[in-house]
């Protein structure tokens, strides 16, 4: 039977991809810091530095495509921000990837220190997957603890903590570079750093500065200022300031790496601990909504679909990946088939619904095309499920569902005796069509991956198909390019809590 053959092929490809799973995408000598779920807290969440973390699976094509750009970004951000990667195909990391709300591969998250130590702000990186864009976005997120000082405020600043060391960068720039911001983080609490523009002529005169950029170090009290004469490079600037005091620990990624490999054995032994700590933080959640764990669980994005056990982040056992749409049958993965129009409307076709993949089926559901399409979709979903990435719902729409006919007509899809695969997003009012030749696993998976990446042509979904609920207007310009779409809710979050922290 066709169906069994397709399934066998799908199973074989799954097996094959499993066998390479243990191998990470980034080698030992990569500039990308390979971390596990157990390292995350120590190396990323508790760090004073800003990080970008890629959640990937070694079998995923888009992850492989991203690799060169990500490596390049890591090199360019060396000493400025941490560039890390988590292999979500590794059994040990699956619960962690689930907790972080990873829905597809690759997912990139920027983690920057929050106002409270150890409670970072986590945001999805939604920008283009080129090194330059990644680097610029990460740099933008680096906190700025550099004091902007003018002629007017100079005396006041010099009077503060006058007995201990300070540093000043004279510059013609209005903005503070990522390098200087990072330097201020290296020496946070040790050497306050200021930036003064060259148009502040009084200050220039006081310190005898004639050209910019010039970095000077005030050792403390009225001791003579020392002018830096090296290159404006991070490492040598750190060395220069280190004549006063060594920087805070944990700065260079290299050190973090060393710490990691050194403690690998301990981590294995302590493999029980993540569940413990995640439970502890999950119970914190209501009390402290800005905690890292809370924002992580809240990032589970695509809304749960009714036919499934609700993936309520607070209730679920943190050790098992959260349930996805497919019923978990071992032998015959399948997708839910929804024959009630109201149910389909409430799942996927309303003004609030997120991305869905719909397989509009012909009357003859046992046709080769129909069975192949369903088994391909089911295998893809199952694979993501196994990788703890939570993919949007895949739903079969039988010809008996009246919505099938109206989709065919309004979207001008063509004959009712063929299978039609479409992706819909009610909230953003777009749909996309699969226009491949067959419904084999590889073609369909490429298409699904492209949707996750926000690639491919979007068409406007007619309002008439989004009946029922009130329409939420989403201006065209705001339509994001990528899936999963997370940003809105989470972006507001950091501002609303807590006293202002130091740093």
Write each residue from 113 to 152 as x if it is in contact with ligand NAG (CB under 6 A), else as -, in one continuous string.
Answer: ----------------------------------------
Q: How does strand 459-460 pair with strand 430-433?
A: antiparallel
Choosing from 65, 227, 248, 446, the residue that interacts with ligand NAG (CB under 6 A) is 248
Phi, psi of 7, rounded to the nearest 5 degrees: -65, -40
Segment interacting with ligand NAG (CB under 6 A) among 1-9, 124-132, 219-227, 296-304: 219-227
Rounded Cα–Cα distance for residues 260 and 42 (Å):
10
Q: How far is CA 96 from CA 179, 276, 292, 334, 458, in A?
A: 31, 12, 12, 26, 33
Rounded Cα–Cα distance for residues 305 and 486 (Å):
17
Choosing from 156, 488, 499, 502, the residue that interacts with ligand NAG (CB under 6 A) is 502
> Which residues, in sequence order, are CB contacts of 294 under 8 Å at separation 6+?
281, 282, 284, 285, 288
Cβ of residue 49: shortest distance to ligand NAG, in angstroms?
Answer: 8
* Beta carbon nearer to ligand NAG, 220 or 454: 220
Cβ of residue 288: shortest distance to ligand NAG, in angstroms?
Answer: 20
Q: Which of 214, 154, 147, 204 is nearest to 181 (CA)?
A: 147
Burial of 121: CB neighbours in 10 Å, binned 0-12, 13-18, 19+: buried
Cβ of residue 217: shortest distance to ligand NAG, in angstroms?
Answer: 9
* Beta carbon nearer to ligand NAG, 4 or 162: 162
Choosing from 34, 36, 48, 355, the residue that interacts with ligand NAG (CB under 6 A) is 48
Q: Give SS3 for 226.
A: strand
Residues 316-375 that bind ligand NAG (CB under 6 A): none
Q: How far is CA 37 from CA 27, 64, 254, 484, in A?
A: 18, 21, 19, 21
Segment interacting with ligand NAG (CB under 6 A) among 1-9, 244-252, 422-430, 464-472: 244-252
Contact 394, 357 (CB under 8 A): yes
Q: Is 158 in the site for ligand NAG (CB under 6 A)?
A: yes
Choosing from 68, 249, 402, 414, the residue that interacts with ligand NAG (CB under 6 A) is 249
Segment interacting with ligand NAG (CB under 6 A) among 218-226, 237-245, 259-267, 369-377: 218-226
State the Cα torsion 369-375-379-385 to the nearest 10°: 120
* Beta carbon nearer to ligand NAG, 41 or 250: 250
Q: Give SS3 for 208.
A: coil
Count of residues interacting with ligand NAG (CB under 6 A): 15
Residue carrying structure tokens 């809240």? 298
Q: How far apart are the first and last CA of the chain?
A: 65
* Beta carbon nearer to ligand NAG, 221 or 475: 221
DSSP-derived secondary structure letter, 337: B
Write each residue from 222 to 241 as x if it is in contact with ligand NAG (CB under 6 A), else as -, in one continuous string.
Answer: x-------------------
Residue whose beta carbon is closest to ligand NAG: 248
The alpha helices in 144-223, defined as continuous H runs, are 151-159, 178-186, 201-206
* Beta carbon nearer to ligand NAG, 165 or 325: 165
Residues 399-428 that bind ligand NAG (CB under 6 A): none
* Beta carbon nearer to ligand NAG, 248 or 346: 248
Segment interacting with ligand NAG (CB under 6 A) among 220-228, 358-366, 473-481, 492-500: 220-228
Q: Is 398 in the site for ligand NAG (CB under 6 A)?
A: no
Q: Is 162 in the site for ligand NAG (CB under 6 A)?
A: yes
**How far out from the chain centre does Cα 65 lie?**
17
* Beta carbon nearer to ligand NAG, 108 or 142: 142
* Beta carbon nearer to ligand NAG, 220 or 467: 220
Rounded Cα–Cα distance for residues 51 and 111 (Å):
5
Q: Which of 197, 189, 183 is nearest to 143 (CA)?
A: 183
By CB under 6 A, name the binding residues for ligand NAG: 48, 158, 162, 166, 188-189, 218, 220-222, 248-250, 502-503
């Amino acid at each position: 039977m066709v169906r069994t053959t397709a399934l066998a092929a799908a199973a074989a490809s799954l097996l094959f991809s499993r066998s390479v799973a243990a191998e990470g995408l980034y080698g030992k000598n990569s500039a990308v810091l390979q971390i596990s779920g157990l390292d995350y807290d120590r190396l990323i969440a508790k760090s004073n530095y800003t990080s970008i973390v890629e959640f990937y699976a070694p079998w995923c094509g888009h992850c492989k495509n991203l690799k060169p750009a990500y490596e390049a970004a890591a090199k360019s951000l060396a000493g400025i921000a941490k560039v890390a990667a988590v292999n979500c195909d590794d059994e040990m990391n699956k619960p962690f990837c689930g907790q972080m709300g990873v829905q597809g591969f690759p997912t990139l998250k920027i983690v920057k220190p929050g106002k409270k130590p150890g409670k970072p702000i986590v945001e999805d990186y939604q920008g283009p997957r080129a090194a330059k864009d990644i680097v610029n976005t990460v740099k933008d997120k680096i906190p700025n603890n550099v004091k902007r000082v003018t002629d007017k405020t100079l005396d006041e600043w010099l009077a503060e903590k006058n007995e201990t060391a300070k540093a000043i960068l004279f510059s013609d720039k209005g903005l503070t570079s990522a390098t200087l911001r990072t330097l201020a983080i290296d020496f946070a609490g040790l050497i306050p750093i200021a930036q003064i523009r060259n148009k502040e002529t009084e200050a220039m005169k006081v310190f005898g500065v004639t050209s910019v950029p010039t970095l000077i170090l005030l050792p403390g009290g009225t001791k003579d200022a020392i002018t830096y004469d090296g290159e404006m490079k991070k490492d040598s600037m750190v060395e220069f300031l280190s004549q006063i005091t060594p920087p805070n620990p944990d700065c260079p990624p290299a050190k973090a790496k060393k710490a990691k490999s050194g403690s690998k054995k301990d981590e294995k032994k302590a493999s029980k601990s993540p569940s413990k700590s995640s439970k502890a933080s999950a119970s914190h959640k209501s009390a402290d909504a800005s905690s890292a764990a809370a924002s992580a669980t809240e990032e589970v994005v695509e809304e749960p679909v009714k036919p499934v056990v609700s993936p309520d982040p607070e209730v679920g056992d943190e050790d098992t990946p959260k349930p996805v749409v497919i019923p978990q049958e071992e032998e015959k993965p399948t997708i839910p088939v929804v024959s009630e129009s109201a149910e389909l409307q409430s799942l996927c076709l309303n003004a609030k619904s997120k991305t869905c993949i719909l397989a509009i089926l012909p009357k003859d559901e046992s046709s080769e095309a129909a069975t192949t399409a369903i088994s391909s979709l089911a295998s893809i979903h199952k694979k993501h499920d196994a990788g703890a990435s939570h993919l949007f719902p895949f739903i079969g729409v039988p010809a008996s569902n009246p919505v099938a006919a109206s989709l065919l007509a309004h979207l001008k899809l063509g004959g009712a005796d063929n299978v039609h695969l479409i992706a819909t997003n009610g909230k953003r009012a777009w749909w996309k069509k699969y226009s491949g030749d067959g419904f084999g696993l590889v073609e369909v998976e490429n298409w699904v991956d492209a949707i996750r990446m926000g690639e491919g042509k979007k068409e406007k979904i007619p309002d008439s198909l989004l009946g029922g609920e009130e329409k939420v207007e989403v201006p065209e310009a705001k339509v994001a390019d990528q899936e999963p779409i997370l940003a809105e809710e989470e972006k507001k979050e950091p501002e609303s809590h807590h006293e202002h922290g130091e740093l």
